[in-house]
Amino acid sequence: MNRTVQREAILAELRASRKHPTAEEIYTVLRSRMPQLSLGTVYRNLEQMSQAGVIRKLETAGKCKRFDGDLSLHHHIRCVECGAVEDVEPAVFNEVDAALARLLPQLKCIDYNLELNGRCRRCRSKGDGGMQREN
Instruction: Note the residues at the interface with DNA (CB under 7 A).
Output: 1-7, 22-24, 34, 36-41, 43-45, 47-48, 63-65
- Output the smallest distance, CB 36 to DNA, in A: 5
Listed in sequence order, the residues at least 6 apart from 84 whose beta carbon sits closer than 8 Å to its beta carbon are 19, 78, 120, 122
Q: Distance (Å, rounded) from C-alpha 61 to C-alpha 54?
A: 22
- Output the smallest distance, CB 112 to a copy of itself, in A: 5
- Cα distances from 64 to residues 42, 60, 79, 84, 127, in angstroms, run 13, 8, 14, 11, 24
Q: What are phi and psi of 12, to 5 degrees?
A: -60, -45
Selection from a copy of itself, DNA, none that 79 binds (CB < 5 to 8 A by kind) is: none
- Cα distances from 76 to residues 19, 54, 90, 134, 135, in angstroms, run 11, 18, 10, 26, 28
Selection from DNA, a copy of itself, none that 50 binds (CB < 5 to 8 A by kind) is: a copy of itself
- Our CB check for DNA shows the closer of 60 and 120 to be 60
- Output the smallest distance, CB 93 to a copy of itself, in A: 7
User: Which residues contact a copy of itself by CB under 8 A?
Assistant: 3-5, 7-9, 12-13, 16-19, 29, 32-33, 50-51, 53, 57, 59-63, 77, 80-81, 83, 88, 92-93, 95-96, 99-100, 103-104, 106-119, 124, 127-128, 130-131, 133-135
